[in-house]
Amino acid sequence: MTGLMSDADVIARVFHHIDNKTTDLADDVWRQPVESYMSDERFADELEMFRRLPVVFCPSAALPETGSYLARTASGVPILAVRGDDGRVRAFYNSCRHRGMAVAEGRGKVGAFVCRYHAWAYGLDGSLKHVPGNQGFPDLDRDAHGLVQVQAEERGGLVFVTQKEAMAEGALEAVPDIIGAGQTVFDLISFEDPANWELVVESAAEGYHIKHLHPKSFYPYGFDNLNVVETYGPNSRLVFPFRRIEKLRGVAPAERRANGMLTYVYHLFPNARVSMLSSHYQMVIIEPLAPDRVRWDIFRLTPPSRDGKPVDMDQTVKDSDFVNDTGLIEDREAASAIQEGLKTGANSHFTFGRYEKSAVHFHQHLDAHLGMLRQGSG
């Protein structure tokens, strides 16, 4: 149970905020030491935490059929996920059991994984199926040389991977249905920025910056510093209303629909977020590469089809391009500029105000998880 509000309740709350010039608030201000964004030691702990939590690997829609696979580096480790003959998603370390070559790259659909070094072949369940030149390996125990499996689980239209024994439930504590069965991934893009991953998480965690950082991209359609923010487990959901939500004033509360009137942004602890817009969905995985380097893996998805109508792909691509080519670039530049600014030593800590509720929630849970990790290993 996530206990998230209904569309009608969210919209009523948005109107309350518009009428009162208010927004949802965190209980307290949060001070984050800037060392967090630069420390090699903390970064190593964070990666260990990532590997010991169920972390979003991809949308289920990226693996639509038997044999659909996706290979990507997650929490610093090459991982391969594939949908098996039984419909289940399994995940493996992407490392051949002969001499360690990656057995798959990118995404696609296969009947088996054939290593491109010496062609050892593995089934969709990871089992070793074929070794060319069998006589070269007289004592090979095939059963002991399947791909090494890591835990994979599908929830709410997302695939979660846990690489090592889980230290906590993490995001799985409360995952709502986020991506539906009919939605498809029409593109996957990746790029890197010189910023700490936490800065990128923070960049979409409040609406306090909308007017100033996004004056021509998002602000003309939205509000400044006006959000409904709910938390569920370590996760949170933010609502960014559009100005056109005013049209719903005359609609009976029970008849009000959020579609097209606001954007829901789901943050899934620690490093994934899904933005739901009327014509497209966007799932971002914020991959830590180094204390000052991050990779964005962005899955671009179609929206759910509404009223049985086919999705208008031209509109979907156009709207998704608009977000990625305008507001997202502004957020990326901000995160990179902050990382650069850390070199000044001007700040000993950053202060997150009560307007920045989702960022405060994220840091509270990150601290708690890192504390748990250190206690466990101490």
Q: Which does 118 bind (CB under 5 to 8 A by kind): ligand FES, Fe ion, none?
A: ligand FES
Among 15, 76, 98, 289, binds ligand FES (CB under 6 A): 98
Cβ distance to Fe ion smaller for residue 97 or 280: 280
Q: Which does 331 bind (CB under 5 to 8 A by kind): ligand FES, Fe ion, none?
A: Fe ion
Size of the site for Fe ion (CB under 5 A): 1
Task: Answer whether 80's CB lies under 8 Å from 103's CB.
Answer: yes
CA distances from 323 to 86, 145, 248 (A): 37, 45, 24
Least Å from the CB of residue 99 to ligand FES: 4
Under rule CB under 5 A, which residues in 320-349 are in contact with Fe ion? 331
CA distances from 293 to 173, 198, 297, 348, 363 (A): 29, 10, 13, 21, 19
Is residue 206 close enough to count as binding Fe ion by CB under 5 A? Answer: no
DSSP string, 119-170: --EE-TTS-EEE-SSGGG-TT--GGGGSPPEEEEEEETTEEEEE-SS-SS-G
CA atoms within 13 A on the CB side of 163: 19
Give the closest residue to 245 by CA, choosing from 25, 19, 4: 19
* Residue span binding ligand FES (CB under 6 A) among the ranges 22-30, 42-50, 92-100, 369-377: 92-100
Least Å from the CB of residue 338 to ligand FES: 42
Q: Which amino acid is at 359?
A: A
Least Å from the CB of residue 141 to ligand FES: 16
Under rule CB under 6 A, which residues in 115-144 are in contact with ligand FES? 115, 117-120
* Residue span binding ligand FES (CB under 6 A) among the ranges 86-94, 114-122, 139-147, 308-316: 114-122
CA distances from 108 to 69, 128, 356 (A): 6, 20, 40
Cβ distance to Fe ion smaller for residue 70 or 265: 265
Is residue 112 close enough to count as binding ligand FES by CB under 6 A? Answer: no
Among 9, 22, 33, 99, binds ligand FES (CB under 6 A): 99
Q: Is 139 exposed, middle or buried (0-12, 13-18, 19+ CB in 10 A)?
A: exposed
Task: Answer whether 62's CB lies under 8 Å from 185's CB.
Answer: yes
User: From CA 11, how far away is CA 13, in angstroms rounded?
Assistant: 5
User: From CA 157, how far away is CA 358, in angstroms rounded?
Assistant: 22
Q: Which does 115 bind (CB under 5 to 8 A by kind): ligand FES, Fe ion, none?
A: ligand FES
Q: Which does 98 bind (CB under 5 to 8 A by kind): ligand FES, Fe ion, none?
A: ligand FES
Least Å from the CB of residue 335 to ligand FES: 38
Size of the site for ligand FES (CB under 6 A): 10
Cβ distance to ligand FES smaller for residue 113 or 223: 113
In sequence order, the 6+-apart residues with CB closer than 8 A to the CB of 336 are 193, 194, 195
Task: Answer whether 185's CB lies under 8 Å from 207's CB.
Answer: no
Is residue 96 close enough to count as binding ligand FES by CB under 6 A? Answer: yes
Give the closest residue to 303 by CA, choosing from 280, 284, 319, 282: 280
Contact residues for ligand FES (CB under 6 A)?
Answer: 96, 98-101, 115, 117-120
Contact residues for Fe ion (CB under 5 A)?
Answer: 331
